[in-house]
Amino acid sequence: MTIHQVFATVCSLILLTLSGGMIAKSAEINEPIQPLKLRQDLNLEKVNLGRSLFNDKRLSRDNSISCASCHDINKGGVDQLPVSKGVGGALGTINTPTVLNSSLNFRQFWDGRAASLEEQIDGPIHLKHEMDSDWPTILTKLQQDQAYADLFKKLYKNGLQSENIKDTISEYERSLITLSRFDRYLLGQKDAIKENEIKGYELFKRYGCVACHQGVNIGGNMYQLFGVMGDYFKDRGNITTADLGHFNVSKDERDRHKFKVPSLRNVALTAPYFHDGSAKTLRDAVRIMAKYQLGRNMPEKDEELIIQFLQSLSGELPVQAKGEQ
């Protein structure tokens, strides 16, 4: 059987089933960007506990850095720095991605090395230039806090343990969903966004930005080469390990310079952009994307509209996530 033949048979089979599937799914919105759904199944006690820990500086070696130091939910879930400062003022190696809506990403980190939110926590905890700590140290510190001990004892059978800390922080992170005006628009509220923003969305689709920045998280569900239509890194120069992207994980040549496509939600709040934090403004980011990813010259007019659209993607935290702050 040749590839073509296989392909043909399979396609026909698929069509048959899909026709039925299509009818079933006709009710769904057939947009490349899907609206957010707030989760109803979160354990609020864990969320609250997770919040405390997220903001607890004892997770760092010298008790100077907490998760919130770099992932400030009042600053779009980032610190709005090109790279973050860790313990002792150590500079990070890569731009901090937002914690907001991070639970919708198919993997964590730019190179996708963490498969889950829980796994991601191990990263900053142990990295020397980030929190420079380890679980035994953290546990020792936290065990002296009777409040934590009691809370953990209440929520988890084995009380204060590292996997439970991770679990509770993750639960908190899962609550950080930002419903935007655009989501409301997608959900049917046609006046939720302005006309320009709608136009911007159309352009976003027509130019093909949506090819990668799609799905419920407007990105975050695939890897893509940074520099499809041109060699971004050659042009930029100073290639670091961080620039190798997913290659660092898979060691596959095909994955060199491939990064997890970041979510564009709250993108207006999370400057500077790209993994290297090189684009200071949205305009810069849009331009570089158009050039290197789309191979297109985008007129300013279009840029403007797209930027407006992008700004409509910023959202609000739900009450449950905000807690008693």
State residue 315 phi and psi, 5-degree precision: -130, 180
The correct pick among 47, 59, 121, 212 for binding another protein (CB under 8 A) is 212
Both tokens assigned to 324: 């008693």
Q: Which residues contact 274 (CB under 8 A, 6 or more apart)?
A: 95, 226, 285, 288
Q: How far is the CB of 4 from another protein (least distance, A)?
A: 8
Both tokens assigned to 192: 């939720």
Nearest-angstrom CA–CA distance, 113 and 98: 16
The torsion of the CA quartet 159, 162, 164, 167, rounded to 10 degrees, works out to: 170
The correct pick among 50, 97, 200, 215 for binding another protein (CB under 8 A) is 215
Residue 208 lies near another protein (rule: CB under 8 A): yes
Q: How far is the CB of 267 from another protein (least distance, A)?
A: 17
Nearer to another protein, 98 or 293 (CB): 293
The owner of tokens 């035994």 is 136
Residue 21 lies near another protein (rule: CB under 8 A): yes
Site string for another protein, 233-272 (x = CB under 8 A): -----------------x-x-x---x--------------
The string of DSSP letters for 31-74 reads -SBPPP---S---HHHHHHHHHHHT-GGGSTTS---HHHHS-GG
The residues annotated with a catalytic role in the active site are: 130
Provide the β-strand partners of residue 224. 259
What part of residues 90-149 is at the interface with another protein (CB under 8 A)? 106, 115
Where along the sequence are the contacts to another protein (CB under 8 A)? 3-4, 6-7, 10-11, 14, 17-18, 21-22, 30-34, 106, 115, 208, 210-212, 214-216, 221-225, 228-229, 250, 252, 254, 258, 294-296
